[in-house]
Amino acid sequence: MKTLPCISDMRASLRQPGAHEALLRQVMAQSDLPSAAAVFTQRFDDQALAAARQADTLLAAGGPLPPLAGLPVTVKDLYDVAGRTTMAGSVLREGRPAATQDAAAVSRLRQAGAAITGLTNMTEFAFSGVGINPHLGTPRNPCDPTVARIPGGSSSGAAVSVALGLAVAGLGSDTGGSIRVPAALCGLVGFKNTQTRTPLAGAFPLSFTLDTVCAMTRSVADCLVVDGVLAGAPLQVPARGLRGARLALPQTLMLDGLQPEVAAAFQRALSRLSAAGAQIVELPLRELSEISQINAPGGFSAVEAYAVHRHDLQTQREKFDPRVAARVALGEGVSAADYITMQQRRRDWIARMEAALGGFDALISPTVPLLAPPIAELLASDEAFFKANGQLLRNTFAINFLDGCAFTLPCQAAGDLPVGLMLSAPAGHDAALAGLALAVEAELAR
């Protein structure tokens, strides 16, 4: 699999005249290969080449380059792009009014010089962690050349675009794990920031309460570059080592039912971090067992998605992905009183979780408890699909429910299928968590 270097390395290598345009032409050629099938819903080749040429012009003039100047970046197809209908992975959106302006995130990427190469495929309306789309096809996870495995969702095309070397970053979204799940399954780094750090304007909603604008890349440093662009200001990340870091290892929920390969990779990572001086502290964290009860009936995503889609669900249900329709319909019977109670109970739960995590630098866990399942198995069986979906989102959703921030980092041995290690913290701890993630990434790469 041919991949792109990290952003800082690319900056150092793209010094020759026309280098950015040459890179874009290489990326566009690779985007036409069979391995990239179902990754894009629309390509912006001409616009991307124009951005690359602009970067070459700035470089030739000796002027400063913006942080993503001329570098290929993809955008999940739930962000508004001026002049185009935002499809959000669904045929239901055909014929709806076109966006009159770019989403805030897209606008900031353009201002940073990004060569936006296209819009990427996704789970319909972002409502699944699997990444299957029956309307548009499912991008194949490039990490297994022999078995067609799921990429994870809902930011499926974003993950595969980065994993294939078609982009230095994939703009996605994370409501219950939609950045971290595909990043973990495709061997990438994903950063789910505190929700309020990045603007949601112009992003098609799944859950107003939980949606987060964020991206995935090949390294923590690259995630921080993109996060700084999306947020309008970079995090002030403290330099730190692992010695003395206190990492809470939850004994409730997050370690349940791990596939042997995931358990082995995670345990190896814990041993490496412990040997480097990190303190791994087992923490009961029984509060995690309360999520399923608090997030009922229906759950925030179902209730808020039903508010968005209720008319279409009642009049054109046959056009939905049936599995997405079934999940949206769970929100139909939830009363305003039930919804308000959910919000109140969540606030109380967050306060108790933050108290329990006081004194720790991060919560550490596997990102997902299983390896990427084969696509065919989940296409064939609703039971297998919904079981896998619940497993994939279980650990990541807990951090959305916390309104927290989290990184997923690859922790598998060379040659193995990808396994993600997740570092998480409460809201507003993004900078400190980023410093820790850099240290963990460096240790795991030794």
Q: Which of 31, 76, 107, 173 is catalytic?
A: 76
**pLDDT computed for residue 280 by the predictor:** 98
Annotated domain spans of the chain: 7-231, 246-288+352-444
DSSP summary character for residue 113: T
pLDDT > 70? residue 294: yes
In order, the DSSP letters of 63-85 are: PPPPTTTT-EEEEETTB--TTS-
Rounded (5°) CA angle 296-297-298: 95
Q: Which CATH superfamily is domain 7-231 in?
A: Amidase signature (AS) domain (3.90.1300.10)
Given 31, 161, 173, 178, which residue is catalytic?
A: 178
Instruction: Let me know: does 41 contact 167? Beta carbons within 8 Å.
Output: no
User: Is 219 noted as a catalytic residue in this protein?
Assistant: no
Q: Is the dihedral of CA 438, 216, 251, 425 positive or negative?
A: positive
For residue 16, the surrounding DSSP H or E stretch is none
* Interval 109-166: pLDDT, tens: 999 999 999 999 999 999 999 999 999 999 999 999 999 999 999 999 999 999 999 9
Known catalytic residue at 192 = no
Tens of pLDDT, residues 417-428:
999 999 999 999
User: Which member of 31, 154, 173, 219 is catalytic?
Assistant: 154
Could you give the angle at the alpha carbon of 280 between the alpha carbons of 276 and 286, nearest 5°?
160
Q: What percent of the chain is helix, strand and coil (3-state, nearest 5)?
A: 45, 15, 40
Q: Roughly how many angstroms between the first and final C-alpha of the chain, as a whole number?
A: 22
Q: Once rounded to an integer, what is the mean pLDDT over residues 24-37?
A: 97
pLDDT confidence of 2, banded at 50, 70, 90?
Answer: low
User: DSSP character for 152?
Assistant: -
pLDDT at 11 (0 to 100): 85
76 is catalytic: yes
Pick the closest to residue 154 from 266, 79, 218, 84 (CA basis).
79
**What confidence tens digit (pLDDT) does each residue in 66-103 have?**
999 999 999 999 999 999 999 999 999 999 999 999 99
In this prediction, residue 12 has a pLDDT band, given cuts at 50, 70 and 90, of confident
State the average pLDDT over residues 5-18.
90
